């Protein structure tokens, strides 16, 4: 089976983890600090705070911004559930806008109509490794005095007009095992704001600056140095792996775009291809079955949009009936095929051949 994702763990990762193991210092320490400095520098931001996972990193970002009870955050439903659960767990209300068909991301044209006196933030998701259309979002945020919070869980190193993810406002990156940069479980909160960073760090460690003196209510969202050591080793090869993803995506697009609905990259955006997501209207299950038979792994990101999830209805009454036509349609059509850097040329040829064998060419 050609898997949909495959972690690339080599001797450098093994050596880095072994060194921490042998040091006997497993809790958050020097490796975490080094990884945080390296990530902040990579993203071109002032602060990176590593945490146990991306979800809690985003909760800490909202806490750092003081977003909570009575506030609204404008976001999308076409994402992983954590995009929205963090808003709810902060006590705030998610307000959904639809996505655009060309980039699967927040449609800036719909944001202004969703703003109310309670709106505090706009949270775009850079889905699949492609940044949202940030220029109009920045313009709206500036005019309405709102903060942009980036869900960059899938967008390590992605850029918009030369500015990397993380440079548009406080952001979160996931380091989950399948991500372009991974530590098994882990996440980063990033920000240029010293005060926000300070509140995030305090929140991460029991509200404690001096050991056993707790100046604010916090919790334990700390990572361990084993994960940080793994991440540091991964980071040295992130750009190389991203380039391989780009070459793989370019091959798939060159081979398939004439006859199938392949992903597009709008002008000015550097895609990092966390996922290569095609659309198979009306025949997705047939395509999944056919590709599985031929040994090609696939995954639906995501089969049920967040506004239709069962639990959400109690928090946002009537959410399932919201008018989000593009989100609803694409949720029924999208399918990720493998694009990760461990694919061989043979794998890529098998993927292309298999898609051609099972999927119906679209009429143009």
Ligand X SMILES: Cc1ncc(COP(=O)(O)O)c(C=O)c1O
Residues that bind ligand X (CB under 6 A): 53-55, 79-80, 82-83, 125, 151, 153-154, 174, 176, 187
Tell me how far, at minimum, the Cβ of 28 lies from ligand X, in Å: 17
Closer CB to ligand X, residue 55 or residue 354? 55
Closer CB to ligand X, residue 232 or residue 348? 232
Tell me how far, at minimum, the Cβ of 114 lies from ligand X, in Å: 20
Tell me how far, at minimum, the Cβ of 217 lies from ligand X, in Å: 22
Closer CB to ligand X, residue 76 or residue 140? 76
Closer CB to ligand X, residue 79 or residue 327? 79
Closer CB to ligand X, residue 149 or residue 252? 149
Q: How many C-beta atoms surround the C-beta of residue 247 within 10 A?
A: 15
Tell me how far, at minimum, the Cβ of 54 lies from ligand X, in Å: 3
Tell me how far, at minimum, the Cβ of 49 lies from ligand X, in Å: 14
* CA distance linking residue 258 with residue 252, whole number of Å: 11
């Amino acid at each position: 089976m050609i898997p949909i994702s495959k972690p690339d763990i080599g001797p450098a990762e093994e050596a880095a983890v072994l060194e921490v193991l042998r040091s006997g210092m497993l809790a958050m320490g020097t490796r975490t600090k080094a990884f945080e400095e390296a990530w902040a520098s990579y993203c071109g931001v002032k602060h990176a705070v590593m945490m146990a996972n991306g979800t809690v990193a985003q909760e800490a970002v909202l806490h750092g911004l003081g977003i909570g009870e009575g506030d609204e955050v404008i976001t999308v439903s076409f994402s992983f559930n954590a995009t929205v659960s963090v808003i709810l767990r902060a006590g705030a209300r998610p307000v959904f806008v639809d996505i655009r068909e060309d980039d699967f991301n927040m449609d800036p044209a719909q944001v202004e109509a969703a703003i109310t006196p309670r709106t505090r933030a706009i949270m775009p998701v850079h889905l699949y490794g492609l940044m949202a259309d940030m220029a109009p979002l920045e313009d709206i945020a500036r005019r309405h005095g709102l903060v942009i919070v980036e869900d960059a869980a899938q967008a390590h190193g992605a850029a918009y007009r030369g500015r990397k993810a993380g440079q548009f406002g406080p952001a979160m990156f996931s380091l989950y095992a399948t991500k372009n940069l991974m530590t098994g479980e882990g996440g980063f909160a990033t920000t240029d704001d010293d005060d926000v960073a300070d509140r995030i760090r305090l929140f991460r460690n029991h509200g404690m600056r001096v050991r056993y003196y707790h100046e604010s209510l916090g919790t334990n969202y700390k990572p361990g140095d084993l994960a940080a050591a793994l991440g540091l080793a991964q980071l040295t090869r992130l750009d190389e792996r991203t380039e391989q993803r780009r070459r793989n995506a370019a091959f798939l697009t060159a081979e398939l775009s004439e006859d199938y609905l392949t992903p597009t990259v709008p002008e000015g955006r550097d895609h990092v291809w966390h996922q290569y997501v095609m659309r198979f209207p009306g025949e997705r299950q047939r395509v999944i079955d056919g590709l599985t038979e031929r040994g090609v792994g696939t995954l639906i990101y995501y089969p049920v949009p967040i506004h239709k999830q069962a639990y959400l209805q109690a928090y946002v009454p009537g959410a399932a009936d919201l008018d989000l036509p593009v989100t609803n349609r694409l949720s029924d059509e999208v399918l990720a095929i493998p694009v990760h850097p461990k694919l061989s040329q043979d794998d890529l040829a098998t993927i292309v051949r298999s898609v051609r064998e099972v999927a119906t060419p679209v009429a143009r």
